[in-house]
Structure formats: C-alpha cells, structure tokens
Structure 1
C-alpha cells in the first residue's frame, strides 16, 4: 500500500516556488554534526514558510475547489484566463486572483452562491456572475472580514453581493450590476468604497436586520428601484460622498425603523424623490445637493428627518414635500422648483434659517402649523408671508448678502451681475454657455444654478477668469486660462478646467475640490486638491514658498510629468498616476507621499534629483524604465513596491536612501541597483523575479491576521497573543484605566477609523520593544510617560499619533532604539521627547508646550526633519540649541541631526 501526503497529490507545475513541508516549522537533524554536538543529540531550527502560489488551469489544478482543498493560510490562488463554472467556497484566508490582468477570469454558477467567503480572504480583479434563483453572486457570512477588490459582480435577476451573520468585509473599487439587488447586508456591517452600482432592478444597496454598513465615494446609476434603503430597528446605513444619478423611485429611503446618515451627496436626473422618510424611519442629511429631480426632492410621510445645509434645485415637484412625520430643516435652500419650495401638508416641521427663492409656486406653502426661525422667501411665482425680500436684481439671502441671478428674469451677462455685486454676494448662473472674460475684484461666490457642468464659461482673448479677491466658484466649466492673483484665496468646487492652464501668484491659496482638470496647474503659493481628476496634464510646483496638498486624486495620461516638484513642499495621500511620461519628479524641496500609485509610466515612476522624499505604502508598476531612480537627495521608502519595470525596480546612483520592507518584483534589470557612491540602508527588503540578481532577499514573513478590538480586555489580549505581521484595529472610543501595554512583536496597532478616533488613557506607559507600528492613536498619560520605545531592535514606526502628559517626560526613547516618528504631536507639561543613548528619525512632528520640548542625551544619531516647536503653556519666541549640531530654521522649524555621542536640550526661551 502506498502512502500519499497532501503535498504529493499536488500536480506538477503549480507553484511559483518549491513549497516547504506542510508544517509551519521544520526540524533539521544531522547526526554527528555540530548541531548535535557530534554525539547524536538532536537539535532543530525553525523555518518560516513562504506563501505558496497555486495555479488553476494551464496544467495546474483542475478547478478552484481542488486548489482550495490544498491551500493553507496566506497562500495565493491564481486562475488562468477563462470561465470557471461551479460554486466556490473559500473557508481559508487566501488570496484569489487572476494570473493575468483584470477581466480575464469569470466565475459563475447556476446552483447556489457562485462565491462564498467564510474566512478573511482577499478576492481581487475577478468577474463573478450569479445565475441561481434566490442565491448571490458573492455571499459573505460569519464573523469574518474578507476583502473584495476591483471586481465586477453581476447577477441579472438575483443578488450581487449578500453580507450576513456579523461579517465585516471591505469592498473597494468594484462594479456591481446588472442585478436584481446589488448589495444586501443583513445583521452585518463592512466598508464599501469607490464602487459603482449600475443597472439594478430593485435596490442597489439594502441594509436590514440591524446591519451597520458604510458606503463611501461610490456612484449609483441607472437603478430600476431604490439606490439605498435601510429597514428594521437597529439598522444604520451610513452614506458619505456618494453620487446618485437616475432612478424612477426614491433614491435613498429610510423606513420601518431603519436609520440613514448621509453626508456630502449629490442627486441629479432622477425620476422619484431623492430622499424619502416614512414608517418610523430616521434620516439625517448633511450637505446634500439635489438638482433636476423628476418629482419632489425630499418626501417626508412618516418617521423623523433632519436636514442641514442642503440645497434643492430644479425639481419638477416641490423641493420638499411633507405629508406626515417630524422634520427639521436648518440652513437649507429650495430653488427653481416647478412647484412650491417647501410644501407642508401635515406633520411637525421646523425651519431654521431656510431660504426659498425663484420657485414657480410659493416659497413656503404651509397647510399645517410649522415653526419658522429667520427664514426668507423671495422671487417666487406666488407670494407667501415668509420674510419677504426684494426680488431683482438683488435678493437678500439669509446671511444678509445678495443672490444675483444670471439668465431668465435676471442679469443677461455674468459681468453685469459682478459689476452690481457687493462683497459677500452670490452670483447664481442658469445653465448655458457664456462667452465672457471675467475679472473678480470683490469677494463673491460664483455658482451654477443647476448641476455641475451645466454652466460653461469661455473666452479666447485673455483669461476666462481672473481672481483679484477671495472668490468661491462652484459647478462651472471654465474653457481658457484661469489666473489667481497674489495673496488671493480661491476655492473651486466641482468645476472643470480646460485650455491654457490654471496659475496662481505669490502668497495665493487655491483649493480644488472634486474638479476635473484638463490643463496644467502651476502655483506659487498654496494648493489643495481633493478628489480631483487630472487628464493629460499635471501639477507643477516651482517655488520654494509653495505648499501643496494632493488627496484622493487621479492623474491620467500626463503628457510630461504628472507631479513635477522643483521646489516647495508637497504632501500626497492616496493619489493615482496612470500613463504619464513620468509619474513624479523631485529636484528640490520636500515630498511626503502615502498611498501613491504610479502605473504604466512611459519612462520613470519616481525620479529624484535632489530634495527630501518620504514615501510610505507606494506602488510603482509597469514603468518603461526605472520604477524609482535616485540621482541625489535624501529619501525614505517604507513598504513600497516597484513591479514590472523596464529597467531596475529601485536604482540609487547618489544620495542617502533608507529602504524598509520594500519589494522589487519582475523588473527587467536588478530589483535593487545600488551604486557604490550612494549611501543606502535596506531593511527587510525583497527582490524576486527580476532580470538580474542583486542578492537582496527578505526573510519570510507571516502574512498577518486582522484582529478587531472594541474594549480594553480585547486590546490587551490581542497585543499579548499577536504574532509578527498581525494588524490590530481599535474601534473608535475612549479606553480608560489601561495599566500599560507591552508591544513585543512586529505588529501594527491602529485606529480603525483614522487619527483622533481612539484615545488610550494609560496608568502605565505603552512600551514598544520591537519593529512595531502605531498609527492614528492618541495616548494620554498622567504624571507618567505616555510612550516608551526601547532596545536596539526597536525600529518602530509611530505615525499620526498624539501623545499627551501633564508632567515628566511624554515620550522616552532609550537603549539604542531608533524609531521613526512621522506627523505626530507631542504635548508636554514639562518634557516632550527624551532620547537617552538612542536615535531615530522625527519627521514633521510638533512639540507643543513644556520648557524642554526635546531633550537629547548621548545620541546614537537622531535626525529631525521639518519638526516644529509650538507654543503651549510657555510663551517662548525662539529656539535655543545647546551642545549639538542641530540646525534651526525659520518659524521655529527644526531640521538637521544630533550626531553620535552628543547631547542637547532644545528649549523655548524668552
């Protein structure tokens, strides 16, 4: 009888590397060797295994189920291109992905759920089709937190994704539809980001049975029924920064005791109400924009609604229609409705600082008793008795400023409205194309009356828009060049730019929110871009005074360089650059990048010729030449990847570079090409599958588990039982009376919902003695240090944390530890950070209060980069440094180093 092990049953050619034995550790025994002392004593050593890559198809496993039966936690299952039929049940934490690019693999099943996730698995870049009646294309069940990334989910006549029984998945950048129900969450939660829900016959999202999901930055288009519904008591559906287009019935509906919290949403081109509350539902809406809806904008027939800073424009029915229930409207506007602005037939309604103007019927049509506070009504087709104001050309709004209408029954040109406007006025423009060159020399707001892009402003002879005063521009398409003068603050929201560029002078401040930019942006002051898309162009930062903040933006097809930095300071967060000539070039100045993705650059991904760069969790794929090229300057790369480049992954010719836990994979040249004259430090980096060997390999790492905690006992238990690679997420809250946490392993401890949401009040310090990461946590100590980092192995990363004490030292670094503190705030009653025979990097940290914000005793090499000492309880006006070569810049900024063996105390002095 032959005995077959599980590994022996695996067909040949299924692994990218030879797998180790099934056991996570393997004992090697050599009789008579040094291991056993030559006397037959058996010794053993542990070897951590690398995750296996199991191939399905093309000579590998016959189907996905067979591969799953042989998979172990952390393995990767790759599917060869094609269609796979049959139910797939994932009950082990693996990654499931196509061997080639997205869209090459389709899973389908006509008998039950096509893909069922019962473990903390990752599924990416797949097309999943559900065909069975009453089943789902994807079902997530049980207390698990899988990730579904960049997938397409279709279930015509059935459910796309069903989440139940306490599951908390992360679903990101997926397209869901066509389907009967797009996403159904029952007694579960989860985060659903940047998804598109399209062609759903009934609900795109339905939350029920006490579910608590959160849908963010997503689009809802062509839904046949409701876009989002919450039912049942205990259900809370959170909707943030979403766009809703079309739909014959109510887009968002709360009923049967369900609760919806919705913020920063836009509704347009729909057939039914945008928001509906009935049957004991609860809906809280904040900063909502509704335009061009086929019926009423808001319908309240029961339950409870609260609406704050909302704007309802161009509805075919009343902007707001109440037939029952309770509702409060605060700082809301009803404009240009084909019926009344606010129509109250029945129910308990309260209006505070609300405005109704330019509606076909009454501004306020009140058939039952309501409460009105500081409300106004003007310019409507039928009079009412609510706060009558002058109509044309200037109608006073609730703030005492004027709303000047351009178009029907208003000004014929925008320029004429500007000429008559006073500081603080609003110039509202009806849909259409206007050929004018505008100079704004008074602080006003310029906005489209309809949906964004309905107003197009062109001019061929000079600047289409020249701003010489602080101006806000909303929803306007600008064709031509735009100029912001020196020392002017300009805000553009949901605008489009094309033509000869956007430029700004010295001392200016320009903010672009959710704008589409088709031209180059050049600034000499401050620039903030949030949620913008930039096509065939980029951003140039040319002056030392420039401060640029880029967040959640996409640059696509830049002709030259997408982000070009000659001088100044640039902060980049969650930005994607695609198909540019060069992704990012730095010649001088400072760049801090987190979550930067650069894909398919024609030439270079990141090109450094000087300055200082800090890159965290950045990915460069498919560069035509080097993924990262450093000719000079100083740079830190942490958990970054350079994959599939035409030359080296990371090439360092000159300069000083730290590379920590970075990966170079499948590049044609070396993974890491490090020249002799460069000063390079590599820690836990890995080079694999590259064209030329470079001798850099990482020790196999635990793939890590995600552990979520919600109280002190769970937190302490998770820290104590964690193994290297684990991630511990702390739910929002104030955690009191913590008698110390000792973090002895290379784990990440972070706030689940970002900085400022978690506070740890400790009676003994948090002690870190490993290469661990603390992210986004506030630590408060009382007469004790809040945080201690010690031992030579303590290369910890402390990022975006706040540590506070009322006396003594706030943070202590000791025993040759060399941590990195990044974007942290240290608030001290006496001493801030104390280094004793230790070093580390301190980047963009703020030391607030205390007579001795930074104390360095016998440093092993500490580097301070753009750290600021701010006045707290002390009124010092300058910084004094004793006994060390620590340069002090302007505005109390620290930069430079404390060298080996030196001592220094940095104080605020009179």
Structure 2
C-alpha cells in the first residue's frame, strides 16, 4: 500500500508546510510513499531514500525547488519525480547515489554545471523532461532517455562514460558548447534525435566507445556531425547531417558502419577518414561539400560502397598514404576532380560513374601512389577523364570516356595500363607525354582529333586496338618517343593512319589510310672548338669571324654597303 503525503505551504488541513517534513514522515512510516506538492517556490534541498514518488499537484513546472546552494535532489533507492522544476546553483542539481530514479515532465536547470549525475550501478529513466545549462552524466550507470530536451549546456549536454549504457529516443540537443552527446568507454544508442548548434561534434564516441545513431537529424554544428575516435565502434544509419564542418569523421583506429545517410552542405568534408581510421560506408549521399565529399588521409582506410556525390569541389580524395576501396560510386557536377589519388595513397575503384565534372580521375605522387579502376564511365569531363602524373601507377579495365579535351592521359614519369577501354569524341583520345609509359590492350578511340599520341620521350606499347574516324591522325608518335604498335586497326576517310618519328615499331597495321614517317630531327652539330695558344687553332670551318690576340687594346670597325664605318 502506498502512503500519501501532501505538502501545502499555505496550511492546508492535514498537509505539511514543506517537502522535507513530508519526506521525514514518509521515512518514519516505511513502505512506498507518494508526496504530492502544491504549486509554489521551495528553497529546499531534498534527501530522498527508499521508495518515494514526488509529484506536483499543478501543471508541470508549477513546483519549483530553488535552494541557495548545494544539491537539489540527493536520491538513493527507488525514486520517482513528476512535474517538478529543480534549479541547482552549484554542484550536481540531481545526484543519484544508488538504486533507480525516474524523472517525468521535470525541468532541471544546472547552473552549477551538472543537471544529473547517475553514478555507477544506478539506473535513471528520463522522460518528457528539459535539461538546461548543465550536463547530464551517466558515469557507469544505465539509463533510458525519451522525448527529452537538452539546451545550452556549458559542457557536453549528455555524457555516457566509464562503462555506462544509455538509450536515447526522440531527444533534442541544442546549443551545447562542446558535444551534444559524448560517449567515452561506454555504450549509447540514439534514435530519432535532433542535434543543432553544438560547439564541437554533435555526437562523439571516444576511448573504445560503442555508439549507434539511427534516424537522427544534425544541423548547424561548428565541427563534426558524428565523430568516432580512439578505436570506437558503432553504427550511423538513416541520418542527415547538414551545415557541419565534417559530416562524419573517423580517426585513430575507429571502425564504424555508416549506412543510408545524407551529408549535405558540409563546409569541409562529408565523410572524413584520417589517422588510421577505418569504417564501412554504404549507400550514402554527399551533396555540395565545401572541399571534399569523401576524404581519406593520414593512413585512413575506408571501404565505400554505393556512394553518390552531387556538386561541391572534389568528389573522392585519397591522399597521404591512405588507402581505400570504392564501389558503385556516382559523382556528378563537381567543379574540380571527381576522383583523386595523391601522395603515396592506394585506391581501388569499381563500377564508377562520373558526369559533368571538370576532371574525372587523377593520380599524382611517387611510385607508391597507385590506383585501379574497373568498370568506369566518364562523360562530359571538360578537362579530361583520366590523368596519371608524377611517378604514380594507374590501371584501367573496362573504362570509357566520352567528350572532353583529353580522354586518357599519362605524363611525367607515370605509368598507365589500359585493358578493354574506349574513348569517344574527345579532342585527344589517349595522350602519353614526358617520360611516361603506356601499356594498352584492346583499346578503342573514335571520333577524336587524334586517337593516340605519344610525345616527348614517352614509351608506348599498344596492341589489338582500334582507332576510327579520327580527324587528323589515328596514331601519332612524335618527339623522341619510342615503342611498338602491334595488330592495330585505323579506319576512316580523312587524316592519316599513323604519323611517327621512325623510332616506333609498327607490326601488322591494318588501315586504308596513309602512314607518314617523319625523319628524326638531326642531333645538333657540335660548336666549333677554339683553342687559344698564341694564336687560334680551328677544328671546323669558321666564317665571318674576327679575332685578336697579344693586344692590350682592340678597335673594331665594320663597313656597311655604302662604305660607311660603324
């Protein structure tokens, strides 16, 4: 049987003038107790033990506990609070030492820094409540938070630490100076929450934390939408992050799964994997990223499947010894490069579709910079579809490029290997320049001004390939380039089949068009050498020269056609 106690400051018959008196009577009576409190201001600090319910008789918030200092509610046992407003001036506004606590339709103002402190082995259930200014801490405790609001926390709005376990549903977090939710060496699940205006990451997992974020909306945050650091794990699913510095960031060995989420208008990156971060990213969309949509750097190693990038500056960038696998990728309308592999990074791409970007795929760096692309389609890349530079190594299989200035390009000392690739309607189909190397099998170029061009000191090994309807030349090998063109076919009604410098081997060429061989440019003749002893010694013919020796003064005159001296 629950005993009922009424607090009536104005002297209601049978009531208690203050809450402390009612609690004292309830403790003496033993057993479950319900303390009902009439509306008003109470400057009391409550110590509640046992099985006790505190309930406001008026509307939620009509009963205000506002002591001058100290903890407002010190609870142990099985305590339920309904409809009260608790204002803490210092320390913990609510301190749960042991047992279980329920707060329902409660407002807690933590001016002293902490709204609620649930200690180890305690359990707190928070429902339909509002927490302002202070943080809510589960330090080794467990809890359920439903339909609660957290506003203007001077620290983290909700912290789950030291092995705590908390489930949050339909919460709203706004204006936290640090994180909306921080999970450290603990576990937390967020479902259907809104987070906005945080000073740092809206949701943060660190120190081997386990974090699940499902169907949440994150907006207008100063740093990351969701952050995983310190070997944390977890799941981000069905979320939308907008106007964050980074949509989701993963570092230092963390390995989450991010699925079915949208990152829109992020000021720097949508997905950021750095400092040996890992993670699997499935069926995500990044729109209008300020710098890079998907960024792997500093040894990061993401696995990305089913990613769509729309707008922004750069689509996917793998740099600084990062590595990654990317499949089912779509990149459209970025103003810079769709795919970028730089500075010792390694990347594998499969089933890539790129449209209306300034450039398609670029590799640049030392010999440790490598990329592979299988099943790629590039269309309307204004500058070029694929380019390999530096000493990087790039391999393409079943790749097509349509429109643009250059289809496939390798320059400097880079290496490009092509298998079953096609270029259509580009100004230059395939370009090999500098000291680069090209190895190509079963390549097709059609409707280009020049199908294949090697220049400078490039090396070309091209076989079983076809060049059709090229305006100027099917294949051109210029400068001091060398190599072999074997079993190739050139068709069309204009231009030449091959223009070459005589340093390339033509094997089994099939063409109705002309082959033009240009003699190699002669090596520059040596300048005549002149050795001065007491007079010059000539080793080659010298004309129109004037010499003087053993003179301290020389006067030179030259006659013009009319005899005048100059």
Contact 1:364 1:377 (8 Å CA) reproduced: no
In 1, Cα distance between equivalents of 2:57 and 2:315: 62
Pick from 134, 149, 173 the counterpart of residue 196 of structure 1. 149
Give, in angstroms, the shift of residue 75 of structure 1: 2.6
Aligned to 1:378: 332
Query: Could you give the per-residue CA deviations for residues 371-419 of structure 1, whole angstroms, max 9, x where no partner exists?
Result: 1122222221112346233349xxxxxxxxxxxxxxxxxxxxxxxxxxx
- In structure 1, the partner of 2:295 is 343
C-alpha distance in 1 between matches for 2:208 and 2:262: 26
Deviation at 1:311, TM superposition (A): 0.9
Moved over 6 A (4+): none
CA distance in 1, matches of 2:52, 2:353: 66
Equivalent in the alignment of 1:69? 24
- Contact 2:249 2:272 (8 Å CA) reproduced: yes
The answer for the alignment partner of 1:121 in structure 2 is 79
Query: Is contact 1:357–1:363 with CA below 8 Å preserved after alignment?
Result: no
**Whole-angstrom distance in 2 between the partners of 1:245 and 1:75:** 40
User: 2:375 corresponds to which residue?
Assistant: none
SS at match of 2:23: helix
Task: Return the offset for 1:210.
Answer: 0.5
* Contact in 1 for aligned 2:36/2:56 (Cα 8 Å): yes
2:7 and 2:17 in contact (8 A); partners too:
no
The aligned residue for residue 508 of structure 2 is none
- Whether contact under 8 Å (1:353, 1:373) holds in the other structure is yes
Distance 1:388 1:374, change over 3 A: closer
- The answer (yes or no) to whether the contact 1:262–1:286 under 8 Å persists in 2 is yes
Instruction: Name the structure, 1 or 2, with higher relative contact order (CA <8 Å, separation 6+).
Output: 2
| CA distance in 1: counterparts of 2:327 and 2:151, whole angstroms | 41
State which of 271, 288, 309 in structure 2 corresponds to 1:356.
Answer: 309
Q: For the aligned residues, what is the CA RMSD? A: 2.0
1:267 to 218, 222, 228: 218
Q: 1:140 and 1:287 mapped to 2: Cα distance?
A: 34
Query: What secondary structure sits across from 1:353 in the alignment?
Result: strand
Shift of 1:320: 1.5
- Match of 1:297, SS state, is strand
Match of 2:95 in 1: 139
Relative to its length, the structure with more strand (as a share) is 2
User: Could you tell me which residue of structure 2 aligns to residue 823 of structure 1?
Assistant: none
Could you tell me how far apart the structure 2 residues matched to 1:191 and 1:79 are? 26
Deviations 1:855-906 (A, max 9, x none): xxxxxxxxxxxxxxxxxxxxxxxxxxxxxxxxxxxxxxxxxxxxxxxxxxxx
State the Cα deviation string for residues 194-215 of structure 1 (Å, max 9, x = none).
0000010110010111000111
Residue-by-residue CA offset, 1:607-634 (whole Å, 9 max, x unaligned): xxxxxxxxxxxxxxxxxxxxxxxxxxxx
Do the aligned residues in 1 keep the contact of 2:5 with 2:22 (CA within 8 Å)? no
1:151-300 correspondence runs (5 A): 151-179=106-134, 181=135, 183-232=136-185, 235-293=186-244, 295-300=245-250
Q: Distance in 2 between matches of 1:370 and 1:248?
A: 31
Match of 2:258 among 300, 307, 314: 307
After superposition, what is the alpha-carbon deviation per residue over 1:496-544, rounded to whole angstroms, capped at 9, x for unaligned?
A: xxxxxxxxxxxxxxxxxxxxxxxxxxxxxxxxxxxxxxxxxxxxxxxxx
Mapping of residues 504-583 of structure 1, within 5 Å? none
**Do the aligned residues in 2 keep the contact of 1:194 with 1:217 (CA within 8 Å)?**
yes
Check the 8 A contact 2:2/2:34 in 1, yes or no.
no
Superposed CA offset, 1:835-854 (max 9, x none): xxxxxxxxxxxxxxxxxxxx
Structure 2, unpaired ranges of 5+: 340-348, 358-566
1:326 pairs with 259, 278, 290, which one?
278
CA shift in 2, pair 1:390/1:348, >3 Å: closer
Instruction: Kindly indicate whether the alpha-carbon contact (under 8 Å) linking 1:362 and 1:381 is maintained by their aligned counterparts in 2.
Output: no
* Alpha carbons 1:56, 1:77 under 8 Å: kept: no
2:10 alignment partner, one of 58, 71, 78: 58
CA change 1:371–1:192 in 2 (3 A) is same
Measured after TM superposition, the shift of residue 63 of structure 1 is 2.2
Matches within 5 A, 1:25-104: 51-59=3-11, 60-71=15-26, 72-104=30-62
Using structure 1 for the length normalisation, give the TM-score: 0.36
Q: State whether residues 108 and 137 of structure 1, in contact with CA within 8 Å, keep that contact through their aligned partners in structure 2.
A: no
1:111 CA drift (Å): 4.2
- 1:441-452 residue pairs with structure 2 within 5 A? none
Q: What are the superposed Cα offsets for residues 46-99 of structure 1, whole Å, 9 maximum, x if unpaired? A: xxx563233242223232221111114333212222222232111121221222
Q: Give the distance between the partners of 1:87 and 1:351, measured in 2 at CA.
A: 54
Q: Pairwise mapping of residues 424-503 of structure 1 onto structure 2 (< 5 A)?
A: none
Aligned length: 337
Tell me, which stretches of 5 or more residues in structure 1 are unaligned?
A: 1-48, 393-910
Contact 1:312 1:334 in 2 (8 A): yes
Q: In structure 2, what is the Cα distance between the partners aligned to 1:279 and 1:374?
A: 29
Question: Does the CA contact (< 8 Å) of 1:308 and 1:331 recur in 2?
Answer: yes
Alpha-carbon distance between aligned partners in 2 of 1:376 and 1:50, rounded to the nearest angstrom: 64
Q: Cα–Cα, structure 1 residues 168 and 106, in superposed 2: closer, same or farther, change >3 Å?
A: same
Over 3 Å counting, the alpha-carbon distance change for 1:107 and 1:240 in structure 2 is: same
TM-score normalised according to structure 2 size = 0.57
Distance (whole Å) between structure 2 residues aligned to residue 103 and residue 369 of structure 1: 55
The Cα offsets for residues 642-661 of structure 1, whole Å up to 9 and x where unpaired, read as xxxxxxxxxxxxxxxxxxxx
User: Is contact 2:178–2:200 with CA below 8 Å preserved after alignment?
Assistant: yes
Hey, what's the Cα distance between the residues in 1 that align with 2:126 and 2:2? 27
Mapped partners of 2:106, 2:307: distance in 1: 43
TM-fit CA distance, 1:370 = 0.7
User: Partner of 1:226: helix, strand, or coil?
Assistant: coil
Give the Cα–Cα distance (whole angstroms) in 1 for the partners of residues 127 and 295 of structure 2. 39
Shift of 1:365: 4.8
1:632-677 Cα distance to aligned partner (Å, 9 max, x none): xxxxxxxxxxxxxxxxxxxxxxxxxxxxxxxxxxxxxxxxxxxxxx
SS of 1:146's equivalent in the other structure is: strand
For residues 295-334 of structure 1, give each alpha carbon's deviation from its aligned partner in whole angstroms, at most 9, with x where no partner exists.
1111222222221111101111111222122111111111
Taking the TM superposition and a 5 Å limit, the aligned residue runs for 1:507-906 are none
Whole-angstrom CA distance in 2 between matches of 1:51 and 1:313? 56
Q: Secondary structure at the match of 2:87?
A: strand
1:86/1:111 contact within 8 Å kept: no
